[in-house]
Structure 1
Amino acid sequence: MGIKGLTKLLADNAPKAMKEQKFESFFGRKIAIDASMSIYQFLIVVGRSGTEMLTNEAGEVTSHLQGMFSRTIRLLEAGLKPVYVFDGKPPDLKKQELAKRFSRRADATEDLTEALETGNKEEIEKFSKRTVKVTKQHNEDCKKLLRLMGVPVIEAPSEAEAQCAALCKSGKVYAVASEDMDSLTFGAPKFLRHLMDPSSRKIPVMEFDITKILEELNLTMDQFIDLCILSGCDYCDSIRGIGGQTALKLIRQHGSIENILENINRERYQIPDDWPYQEARRLFKEPQVFSDDEQLDIKWSAPDEEGLITFLVNENGFNSDRVTKAIEKIKTAKNKSSQGRLESFFKPVVSSSIPIKRKETEDKAAKETTNKKSKAGGGSKRKK
């Protein structure tokens, strides 16, 4: 779920903190990607028709592989350097949310059965997507694929979004890419939405800047975390009747959840019993992640051509010619991205504030003036 309604809240109250970007604007950038969210998108979109997904001859689903393969190649062709981060063990506080998701999938399965009996195509499409779950096998398949492609994979100790944010805060990557907005709550300096969206090439990437968010909302990072908890997060229930706008108003008025609870109208707003907002806050502020001094193997390498053909063509029924052409694209793209961003080749000139072209023009003009004076006999002697 991420943070409920946060995108709209920011669009309404901090529009300068978000901007549309093109793929090309991230050329040479290292981007940490929430892998599980991407896999989920591929499972509900790629090659899907009603309840059917892409499969190999053994009947095993391959939508996630097709989506991950083609989307990653597109990122590489645009000069990006993706780092995929996979979820580890979820925090205990998230078990309640995971149980809710399990229950919702069970309900959706029943609704799907009814829709199939009545033949309602719209209902079939809607409920079949709600039954999708990213399994351990889906994750393992994608890890294997990415490693064969020469793309780095990180297995987080806990939440992938938290590890992505930690990589961004330490400067190991430029931004975090996901659809769940809680990457911002974990403190990611730069956050990208729609980078991995497989549904259309026309959807622009939306970039969020946490510093600008805090400036426009006029909140501290601690207050922003409290705002997100009040709006609705994965770690605890929210207060019924309090949405994003009301939460923002209350945080601005009282400064913290503790002060809000002391002053809130408890007849109007019901506080959940044993509400673990403090533990949720701790998980956002001090998540379980690999620390800076722990070595993370973030390296991009040449694709394993033989391994990719064996895995995709022989084991999963991909078209041999398409895979061969795709491998060539990967090799070409990696050579291109290795050039780096343009600004990395230049250092700012500290000794002069005069722009280079203007300075060249002024030097040329001064030289011409000196030459004219010399010809007229009034020039100064040239220095040896």
Structure 2
Amino acid sequence: MGVGGSFWDLLKPYARNEGIDFLREKRVAVDLSYWIVQHDAVIRRRKPNARNPHLRNTFFRTVALFSKMGAYPVFVVDGEPSPLKSQARIERFFRMSGLDPSELPKPVEGEGEVTPVRQRNRFFTKYVRECMELLKLLGMPVIEAHCEAEALSAQLNREGQVDACITADSDAFLFGAKCIIKCLSSNSKEPFECYNISDIEAGLGLKRKQLIAIALLVGNDHDLHGVPGFGVDNAVRFVRLYSDDEILDRLSMIGKGDLDIENGIATSSTMFSMTVKSPHCTHCGHPGRKSVHIKIACKQCVMNGSHTCMKKPSGFKCTCSSCGEVHKLKEHQRHEKWQVKMQKSISAMPKFPNNEIIALYLNDSYGYFDGKDGLMLKWDKPKVEHLVDFLSFHQNWESSYIRQKMLPLLCTIYLREIASTQNDNLLLNDQYKFHSIMQQKIKHGHPFYLIKWMRDAICTIHSVSNEQAELLPLQSPGSDESIDLLDEPDGPTILVDDGCFFLLTDENMDLVRAAFPKEVDRFLELKKSRCKNKVETSIRLASPISTEVQLSIKRFYHSTKAVAQDHEKGSFIDSSPCGKREKLTNLDKNLPKSVRRRLLFD
């Protein structure tokens, strides 16, 4: 989707590898249609009978993006596609189905587009509406575009309302996007690809209008054909001939048949014919005549250590100034011939470039609001009870499983609220309060704090003995669906301690410090004290106190040799520095090996 050809391969060398914390505390626009179809095939292949994978995927990925990655997602929905894109979509479907694209219904001149072409897949439209309802229950902002979701996402990014766009449509750069994340998975140790327009401009030397020109030449979502003979490499080479300000106007002039470069070719051909190449020896290939070189060797051959002219090797090329000028003229002439060939291909296309496509890319408003101040993005608290009813109906999940999977999102909202208000009296989900930090752990290659939550209200629970205290998983879903899907966040676990239940969750370390700085300092001090005591204990047990100096390597070697010889005789002997030997009998075999070694060599 997006620009045709291998456009993403052109941009890939300028991608940055970012980690899971890149989007923390940042706003990101998400192309909802892209999310729905991205892993639909994967989920259906793993579990053909999966129930509503579009809802499941949207729910889990939203919770992971908001809680685990710490981002503020803004979901953008496609509007009514343009007639050009509708026609291109049907043509793409014909190609993939092996049908003849010539049988496509064509718009009638002056009567607008063909009505059936504008119709969208009614099942996909239903999926989008259901996901929109789910996202609104989660408290996420959802906005609808005039036409393409990637266009509105790019506008939000260009105006500074979001920091990045999550989409696979490469033409988002043509709509003005500054930062695009192509593939994103929260449950992966591998970094994801992040494309910045500043890196692309610096690396390729191309700006927005030049990228639009490339899309017109190689094909795009609104015109699959492009110009015959233009791949991505040829398009980049051609576009670089003109500046960003003049490229689109120049394409319009070429499309009308303005090929003034032919005059330049005639001029360069005249210059080439007027260029006189100095005579070269046919034997050695250096400047000069062969008759002269037979009598006296040329300077180049003498410099190479020969008294006579050497025979030139195969593939020899002279590097003199005269040959250099001729070579430059030939290269210039080849380049001009290629340029004329490309211009003739462009001029042969009817109505090229399509000004309607250019206007779509350069439009400044793709949403139902006026400018930057006309849109207010707001993230509300999720409506838990309505979500339980919604997912229980559509996914046949039990309420306990739904609440379990929602808890990471609720924890993130709670910690952010505590960090901003410093009100310790707030409760997580009106039930739990912060108890302590149990440990620091690494998951998917990233560090987290394992947080212990205590139930605030007094409730009657069955007694559990200390011998049976352990970590227990929460209830599994009521359906038979597999739960090891992409981007599904890990739910909390239950810790049973002295007959009381505690919830354990993994939380971002920076967010926990912002919310509970004193608790983090206390945990770090306790961890430091435990490490120090552990080291001192291990040293005391492994290395008993000795008043003697450690043996040198030479004395250690001789002592070891003497002990080995005496060991063969049935006794252990220790060699002292003065040469005295004291027989050690009844050596306790239960002592640690390090202690027995010191007793032998001290």
Query: One fold, TM greater than 0.5?
Result: yes
Instruction: Within 5 Å, give how 1:210-249 maps onto structure 2.
Output: 210-236=197-223, 237-249=225-237
Say how many residue pairs are matched.
306
Q: Which residue of 2 aligns with 1:67?
A: 57
**Identity value in percent:** 27
Secondary structure of the corresponding residue to residue 181 of structure 2: strand
Q: Distance in 1 between matches of 2:204 and 2:177?
A: 17
User: Would the alpha carbon gap of residues 139 and 215 (structure 1) be closer, same or farther in structure 2, given more than 3 Å must change?
Assistant: same
Whether 1:87 and 2:88 are equivalent positions in the alignment is no
Equivalent pair of 1:76/1:337 in contact (CA under 8 Å):
no
SS in 2 for 1:185: coil
Query: What is the deviation of 1:330?
Result: 1.2
1:101 match: 92
**Cα gap change, 1:252 to 1:38, in 2 (>3 Å):** same
Matches within 5 A, 1:296-307: 296-307=375-386
The Cα shift of 1:247 comes to: 0.3
Q: TM-score, normalised by structure 1?
A: 0.72
CA distances 1:211-270 after superposition (whole Å, capped 9, x unpaired)? 221222223322222123223211123112211111000001245233665454269847
Q: Measured at CA, do residues 105 and 288 of structure 1 come closer, stay the same or move farther in structure 2, by a change above 3 Å?
A: farther
The question of 1:258 aligning with 2:214 is answered no
Q: Match of 2:17, SS?
A: strand
Matched residue, 2:354: 277
Q: How far, CA to CA, are the matches of 2:165 and 2:173 in structure 1?
A: 9
Q: Does 1:157 align with 2:146?
A: yes
Shift of 1:288: 4.6
The SS at the match of 1:307 is helix
Q: Against the structure 1 CA distance between its residues 315 and 267, is the aligned structure 2 distance closer, same or farther, given a 3 Å change threshold?
A: closer
How big is the shift at 1:96? 1.9
Q: CA–CA distance in 1 between the matches of 2:45 and 2:396?
A: 17
Following TM superposition, the consecutive aligned residue runs of length 4 or more in structure 1 with deviations greater than 6 angstroms are: none
Structure 1 equivalent of residue 136 of structure 2: 147
Query: Aligned equivalents of 1:81 and 1:325: distance in 2?
Result: 21
The Cα offsets for residues 304-329 of structure 1, whole Å up to 9 and x where unpaired, read as 11111111113331343321111211
User: Which letter does structure 1 place at the counterpart of 2:50?
Assistant: L
Q: Which of 40, 45, 58 is 1:43 aligned to?
A: 40
For CA contacts below 8 A with separation 6 or more, give which structure has more relative contact order. 1
In the other structure, the counterpart of 2:567 is: none
Decide which structure has the larger Cα Rg and report it. 2
Equivalence map 1:1-384=2 (5 Å): 1-4=1-4, 5-11=6-12, 15=13, 17-49=14-46, 52-55=48-51, 62-77=52-67, 78-104=69-95, 106-107=97-98, 135-195=124-184, 201-236=188-223, 237-255=225-243, 256=247, 257-258=251-252, 261=255, 262-263=258-259, 264-265=340-341, 269=345, 271-286=348-363, 288-290=365-367, 291-292=370-371, 295-336=374-415
Distance 2:198 2:122 in 1: 34
Q: Distance in 1 between matches of 2:216 and 2:416?
A: 39
Q: 1:190 to 1:145 in 2, by over 3 A?
A: same
Q: TM-score scaled by structure 2?
A: 0.47
User: Structure 2 stretches of 5 or more lacking a match?
Assistant: 100-120, 260-339, 421-507, 511-602
Task: Find the residue that maps to 2:374 and give its secondary structure.
Answer: coil
> 1:24: how far off?
1.3
3-state SS of the aligned residue for 2:25? Answer: coil
Q: CA RMSD in A?
A: 2.8
Contact 1:81–1:337 under 8 Å retained in 2 = no
The Cα shift of 1:172 comes to: 0.8
Letter in 2 for 1:3: V
Distance 1:24 1:266 in 2: 46
Deviation at 1:287, TM superposition (A): 5.6
Per-residue CA deviation, residues 36-83 of structure 1 (Å, 9 max, x unaligned), is: 011111322224348x3522xxxxxx1111111111111112111110
| CA distance in 2: counterparts of 1:10 and 1:225, whole angstroms | 14
> 1:136-172 CA deviation, whole Å, 9 max, x = no partner?
1010010011111111111112111110011111111
Distance 1:268 1:133, change over 3 A: farther
- CA deviation after TM superposition for structure 1 residue 84, in Å: 0.6
Counterparts of 1:84 and 1:316, CA distance in 2: 22
Q: SS of 2:195's equivalent?
A: strand
Q: Does 170-179 or 237-246 show the bigger shift? A: 237-246
Question: In the aligned structure 2, how far is the partner of 1:151 from the partner of 1:36?
Answer: 16
Does the C-alpha gap of structure 1 residues 65 and 281 become closer, same or farther in structure 2, counting only changes over 3 Å? same
User: How many angstroms apart in 2 are the aligned matches of 1:336 and 1:153?
Assistant: 24
**Alpha carbons of structure 1 residues 313 and 281: separation in structure 2 relative to 1, 3 Å:** same
* Whole-angstrom CA distance in 2 between matches of 1:160 and 1:182: 11
Aligned to 1:48, what secondary structure does the other structure show?
Answer: helix
- State the alpha-carbon separation in 2 of the partners of residues 282 and 96 from structure 1: 18
Aligned AA for 2:26? Answer: R
Instruction: Report the CA distance shift for 1:250/1:260 in structure 2 as closer, same or farther (over 3 A).
Output: farther
The residue number in structure 2 matching 1:366 is none
Mapped to 2, the partners of 1:272 and 1:336 lie a distance apart of 60
